[in-house]
Amino acid sequence: MAPRNRGAAEPAGRELLSAGDVARTVARMAHQVIERTSLGAADAQPVVLLGIHTRGAPLAHRLAGRIAEFSGARVPTGVLDITLYRDDLRRRPTLPLGTTELPPGGVDDQLVILVDDVLFSGRTIRAALDALRDAGRPRAVQLAVLVDRGHRELPIRADYVGKNVPTSRTEEVHVQLEETDGRDAVLLQRTENRA
Amino acid sequence: MRHLLATEGLDAATATAVLDTAEELKRTLLGREVRKLPTLRGRTVITMFYEASTRTRVSFEIAGKWMSADVVNVSATGSSVGKGESLRDTALTLAAAGADCVIVRHPASGAAHRLAGWLHEAGTSVVNAGDGMHEHPTQALLDAATLRERLGELAGRRIAIVGDVLHSRVARSNVHLLTTLGADVVLVAPPTLLPAHVDRWPVTVSHTFDAELPSVDAVMMLRVQAERMHGGFFPSTREYSIAYGMSEARLATLPEHAVVLHPGPMLRGMEIASAVADSPRAAITQQVANGVHVRMAVLYHLLAHEEEVS
Amino acid sequence: MTSLVLRGIRPYGEDPVDVEIRDGVIAAVGSDVDTDGAEVRDAGGLVALPGLVDLHTHLREPGREDTETIETGSAAAALGGYTAVFAMANTNPVADNAVIVEHVWRRGREVGLVDVHPVGAVTVGLAGERLAELGTMARSQARVRMFSDDGHCVADPLLMRRALEYSTALDAVIAQHAEEPRLTVGAQAHEGELAARLGLAGWPAAAEESIIARDCLLARQTGARLHVCHVSTAGSAELLRWAKGQGIEVSAEVTPHHLLLDDELLATYDPVNKVNPPLRTAADAKVLRAALAEGVLDCVATDHAPHAPQDKDCEWSAARPGMLGLQTALSVVIRTMVEPGLLDWRGVARVLSERPAEIAGLPDQGRPLEEGEPATLTLVDPDATWTVRGAELASIAANTPYEGMTLPGRVVTTLLRGRITAHEGEVLR
């Protein structure tokens, strides 16, 4: 699993998405969600957004905001920390736990849309599915990611993708958000000194 | 963190990290149907209790199981220990059998430290669940967790610890942890139940319970064994509870927000009045609940990750 | 018997001389000693002391030969520079009768490395209830002149009074292990700040001091001689200074470990540091060193106490108290008393040989290094150092608190009435 950057601003790389690009991408994703789930329609099934800690959480809130703007529907939003479900804990020093707060009303019988910043190996999502399973029984689970950078190690795919960014294994994709990093951007960086 | 042997020497950052983890675990498990986390799957935790204890042992067992560890309980009676096997041999046997972690409660002060030394090569972690009169670190952590919940930040708070401080590992562990976290501690006891040179501890000492009540944010009542009367520590249980018991009258003189804690088991009518134990100002059941989350957090910090060999 | 000439030794660390030894006696001392037909050994630079005398040692035989025997204990003593040791009575069976003391005495002679003097118990079975047959033991082959319940205190004041009175007819001394038992129930370590923090039940100084005070007054009352074992507190030293000032016939010993070690060592909970009386504070140790230099404490006695591994390799409260001491005593005295200038070598001779011999009434030990005196002496290399390894010591047990420590001074040769008993780390039977 890729390390989850917790907040510190990364050194500069090549900018893939500017702040404006990020905003437009999120808006487009919101429209996609509304369309596919028929949000706002009278007989629409209930949907909740669950952001994966760290950056998935503010992304989920932004999506909820855009969705409310475009459709009038208020989507309950929560945050899921997957630290306890990671498959690589033994190899790292102790990680502090992030907050898990299920959306008001829980996840039972809901369509849960997991939200994350970058989809890479798929292990984070797999851990999120395990965590979700212990939290309740959703009717269905979908996945929304801002960036899909390829190199899946598990049979996992996103339902809503903000941007597809083909990368090599020696590169890293860093998403920066106002809420966690002070600005919006998506950066591509070479990992020359990766051990 | 390789072992948890004592709160003495536990720095504020580590203690706070454990308490924060406990808080998150509590929140994560809230309302869940499946109260289980896979994090310690495949880890083997063995409890070695040389003193009878149901609540602490059960608390550790639940903590381990909720983290998906395999928990095995060894008690002193009816085992090889009853046949005279030494503490060291028992520990080495359990480590050789595959224990990743040994949780030990023992009547000898220093037993957990000695175990950590003997198990160093085997790489087994040791958690002190109470060694003689010395320390009971997870009790202090769950007390701190409970106080944080009820009072918010602990820095600057005034906590009274009342009773048989001399013989109490709970008192020692709490003095270290609370002062590390920035609280002021006042020990209240008759002179016979205070340790030698307690004036050199980072605490205030008082023999008059009533004088301290109006100014404290929490009162931690310690167990007092009635048998101590026979050692001349106090003349009678009546005189003790009149002077140092947490009565209803005393509860009324505590500030509104102040909380009453007790590590249990309680001797109702001796150190704490029945009505006080059952009042909403007492956080005793909360302590027990927090005990499980705190112990889960301790196991997480000890066992979930690869230890860097220092 | 041919004579032995030791060349260039320095008696009491003073100017080098040659010494001729013949028929167990110092035949000549000087710079032009007769070497015809003699075995000549070059001992240049070595300090010569009268053979060391230990008033307090545990040889564990009979009863705990898994930890030490009279033979192995004698070897340890000879290697440590000792020529006489007093073997305490808390064996199993207890040395409270002529049969046991005669066995110990005879066995010591058989081994022949040091003069083993059995100490007789004061009370039957060390139970503190009735007097043991002190007279019979005194008149036995072992000629017991020191009686002690060491390990236990003679706590009953009436019984202690009777023992003191009775001993005056035997020209003997009662050696008290000063510990008021009611004040030390369950005690584990010195009742001080450290033990309080570590949760170890305290052994208060007053438990030792109150008995010393009481017994000094009883000695005055009865006109008897009192000896106080292993003094450990500053308060005890104070009481002894007062008592001696009053003309009370009291002598006192201090162990090497109480001169060097203190309760800071408790923090590791390693029971190698567990001893009775316990290690006190650094401040106490400092007072004890000054008191020894001054003569308020008369002598150093090892309280050599071998213990089996299972009695030390456990949790503190389960461990037995006691430390080895015979082979490290002189080095510790050099470290604590000679190096800081509290004692010169004459002082060392006094506290490790002359005063103990005097207290015990030994006519042929602790004698001056002069012509006509017994050739019972110890040669020490004052500049050598050595690292203590319990496994390498002669005792069967290995419980030394100095494990891994490098100590000053090394015993090179020990002679008992002209016969070499130990040389360069080997015993010679």
Output the DSSP codes for C146-184. Answer: EEE-TTS----HHHHHHHHHHHGGGT-EEEE----GGG-
Which of C191, C198, C314 is opposite residue B109, by nearest beta carbon?
A: C198
What is the separation of C-alpha B257 from the centre of its chain, rounded to a whole number of angstroms?
23
Residue carrying the six token digits 């924060």: B20
B24 Cβ under 8 Å from any chain A Cβ = yes
Q: Mind listing the pLDDT tens digit for each residue in B87-134?
A: 999 999 999 999 999 999 999 999 999 999 999 999 999 999 999 999
A-B contacts (CB, under 8 Å): 57
Quick count: other Cβ atoms within 10 Å of Cβ C390? 16
Rounded to whole angstroms, the Cα distance separating C320 from C317 reads 8
Domains of chain C: which residue ranges? 4-47+373-393+404-427, 50-360
- Can you tell me the mean pLDDT for A147-153? 95
Q: Which of C54, C115, C298, C303 is catalytic?
A: C303
Helix, coil or strand: residue B162: strand
Asked if residue B188 and residue B129 are part of one domain, the reply reads no
Give the list of residues 6+ apart from residue A140 with CB closer than 8 angstroms, or none. Answer: A111, A112
What is the percent of chain B where pLDDT is above 70? 95
Question: Does the beta-carbon distance from C199 to B113 stay under 8 Å?
Answer: no
pLDDT at C12: 97
Indicate whether B211 belongs to any domain: yes
CATH superfamily for C4-47+373-393+404-427 is Urease, subunit C, domain 1 (2.30.40.10)
Q: Rounded to a whole number, what is the distance in Å from the CA of B104 to chain A's nearest CA? A: 23
DSSP state letter for C200: P
Lookup: tokens for C233? 């507190």
Q: Give which of B52, B78, B75, B73 is closest to B61, Cα–Cα.
A: B73
Helix, coil or strand: residue C53: strand
pLDDT at B81: 64
Domains of chain A: which residue ranges? 20-89+97-168
Neighbours of chain C (3+ CB pairs under 8 A): B
How far, CA to CA in Å, does A193 sit from each of A8, A170, A171, C34, C250? 18, 10, 11, 84, 78
Helix, coil or strand: residue B291: helix
Strand partners, C378: C49, C414
Question: Does the beta-carbon distance from C317 to B87 stay under 8 Å?
Answer: no
Neighbours of chain A (3+ CB pairs under 8 A): B
Q: Rounded to a whole number, what is the distance in Å from the CA of B116 to chain A's nearest CA? A: 20
Rounded to whole angstroms, the Cα distance separating B62 from C156 reads 54
Instruction: Show which of residues 205-244 on chain B sit within 8 Å of chain A, judged by CB atoms.
Output: none
Q: How many CA atoms lie within 13 A of C208 on its CB side?
A: 27
pLDDT at B236: 87
Asked if residue B144 and residue B117 are part of one domain, the reply reads no
**ipTM of predicted complex:** 0.89
pLDDT at A40: 79
Whether residue A62 has pLDDT greater than 70: yes
Question: Does the beta-carbon distance from A93 to B305 stay under 8 Å?
Answer: yes
Lookup: tokens for C32? 């032009």
Asked if residue B261 and residue B187 are part of one domain, the reply reads yes
Q: What is the DSSP string of B114-159?
A: HHHHHTTTTT-EEEEEEETTTB-HHHHHHHHHHHHHHHS--TT-EE
Question: Does the beta-carbon distance from C196 to B106 stay under 8 Å?
Answer: no
B285 Cβ under 8 Å from any chain A Cβ = no
Question: Does the beta-carbon distance from A100 to B33 stay under 8 Å?
Answer: no
How is the beta sheet containing A111-119 ordered, strand by strand?
A77-80, A47-52, A111-119, A140-148, A160-164
Which residues in chain B are contacts of A96 at CB distance < 8 A? 17, 20-21
Which of B24, B301, B304 is opposite residue A99, by nearest beta carbon?
A: B24
Q: Rounded to a whole number, what is the distance in Å from the CA of C193 to chain B's nearest CA? A: 5
Q: Rounded to a whole number, what is the distance in Å from the CA of A51 to chain B's nearest CA? A: 15
Question: Does the beta-carbon distance from C269 to B114 stay under 8 Å?
Answer: yes
Which residues in chain B are contacts of A81 at CB distance < 8 A? 24, 28
How far, CA to CA in Å, does C426 sit from each of C79, C302, C379? 7, 21, 14
Q: Which of A54-58, B75-79, B114-118, C206-210 has the lowest mean pLDDT?
A: B75-79
One CATH from 3.40.50.12640, 3.40.50.2020, 3.50.50.60, 3.40.50.300 for A20-89+97-168? 3.40.50.2020
The residue with greater pLDDT, A135 or B257, is: B257
Which of A85, A90, A102 is opposite residue B306, by nearest beta carbon?
A: A90
- What CATH number was assigned to the domain covering residues C50-360? 3.20.20.140
B38 Cβ under 8 Å from any chain A Cβ = yes
Question: Does the beta-carbon distance from B200 to C193 stay under 8 Å?
Answer: yes
Asked if residue B280 and residue B141 are part of one domain, the reply reads yes
Asked if residue B143 and residue B70 are part of one domain, the reply reads no
CB A70 within 8 A of CB A42: no
Report chain B residues touching chain C, CB-CB < 8 A.
Answer: 8, 86-88, 106-111, 113-114, 131-135, 169, 172, 195-198, 200-201
Helix, coil or strand: residue A147: strand
DSSP state letter for C351: I
DSSP state letter for A102: P
Which of C195, C197, C314 is opposite residue B87, by nearest beta carbon?
A: C314
The number of residues making up chain B comes to: 310
Q: Rounded to a whole number, what is the distance in Å from the CA of B112 to chain C's nearest CA? A: 9
Asked if residue B46 and residue B145 are part of one domain, the reply reads no
Q: Are strands A160-164 and A140-148 parallel, antiparallel or unpaired?
A: parallel
Indicate whether B248 belongs to any domain: yes
Question: Does the beta-carbon distance from C314 to B109 stay under 8 Å?
Answer: no
Question: Does the beta-carbon distance from C197 to B8 stay under 8 Å?
Answer: yes
Q: Mind listing the pLDDT tens digit for each residue in C250-283?
A: 999 999 999 999 999 999 999 999 999 999 999 9
How far, CA to CA in Å, does B175 sit from each of B112, C80, C201, C206? 19, 47, 19, 28
Which residues in chain C are contacts of B200 at CB distance < 8 A? 193
Which residues in chain A are contacts of B31 at CB distance < 8 A? 102, 106
Asked if residue B116 and residue B187 are part of one domain, the reply reads no
Segments of chain C scoring below 50 in pLDDT: none
Q: Do C and B make contact, counting contact as 3+ CB pairs within 8 angstroms? A: yes
Mutate to test the interface with A, among B19, B28, B300, B306 (most CBs of A within 10 A): B28
Question: Does the beta-carbon distance from B306 to A93 stay under 8 Å?
Answer: yes
Give the list of residues 6+ apart from residue A169 with CB closer than 8 angstroms, or none. Answer: A151
Q: Rounded to a whole number, what is the distance in Å from the CA of B266 to chain C's nearest CA? A: 22
Asked if residue B266 and residue B293 are part of one domain, the reply reads no
Residue of B nearest to C318 (CA): B108
Asked if residue B129 and residue B49 are part of one domain, the reply reads yes
Residue A45's φ and ψ, nearest 5 degrees, are -70, 150
Lookup: tokens for B228? 């101590």
Asked if residue B110 and residue B248 are part of one domain, the reply reads no
B113 Cβ under 8 Å from any chain A Cβ = no
Domain extent at residue B148 = 137-284
pLDDT at A195: 45
**Mean pLDDT for all residues in chain B:** 93
Known catalytic residue: C303? yes
Residue of B nearest to C267 (CA): B110
Which residues in chain C are contacts of B134 at CB distance < 8 A? 198-200
Lookup: tokens for C296? 């308020």
Residue of B nearest to A105 (CA): B31
Q: Give which of B192, B198, B150 is closest to B171, Cα–Cα.
A: B198
- Can you tell me the mean pLDDT for A167-184? 93
Question: Does the beta-carbon distance from C313 to B88 stay under 8 Å?
Answer: yes
Identity of the residue numbered C84: A
Residue of B nearest to A79 (CA): B28
Exposure class string for C318-346: b at 16+ Cβ within 10 A, else e: bbbbbbbbbbbbbbbbbbbbbeeebbebe
Which residues in chain C are contacts of B120 at CB distance < 8 A? none
pLDDT at B270: 86
- CATH (domain of B159): 3.40.50.1370
Whether residue B309 has pLDDT greater than 80: no
CB C79 within 8 A of CB C394: yes
Question: Does the beta-carbon distance from B114 to C195 stay under 8 Å?
Answer: no
Mutate to test the interface with C, among B8, B88, B105, B114 (most CBs of C within 10 A): B114
Q: Rounded to a whole number, what is the distance in Å from the CA of B25 to chain A's nearest CA? A: 8
Rounded to whole angstroms, the Cα distance separating B294 from B25 reads 9
Confidence of residue B78 (pLDDT cuts 50, 70, 90): low
Identity of the residue numbered C195: A
Question: Does the beta-carbon distance from B305 to A89 stay under 8 Å?
Answer: yes
Instruction: Check whether the bond before B265 is cis (ω within 30° of 0).
Output: yes
Q: Do A and C make contact, counting contact as 3+ CB pairs within 8 angstroms? A: no
Which residues in chain C are contacts of B48 at CB distance < 8 A? none
Indicate whether B309 belongs to any domain: no
- Can you tell me the mean pLDDT for A13-26? 93
Helix, coil or strand: residue B167: coil
Asked if residue B152 and residue B122 are part of one domain, the reply reads no
Indicate whether B227 belongs to any domain: yes
Q: How many domains does chain B have?
A: 2
Indicate whether B4 belongs to any domain: no
Question: Does the beta-carbon distance from A84 to B38 stay under 8 Å?
Answer: yes
Confidence of residue B310 (pLDDT cuts 50, 70, 90): very low
B123 Cβ under 8 Å from any chain A Cβ = no
Q: What is the DSSP string of B50-70?
A: SS--SHHHHHHHHHHHHTT-E
Question: Does the beta-carbon distance from A89 to B304 stay under 8 Å?
Answer: yes
B309 Cβ under 8 Å from any chain A Cβ = no
Residue of A nearest to B25 (CA): A97
What is the percent of chain A where pLDDT is above 70? 92
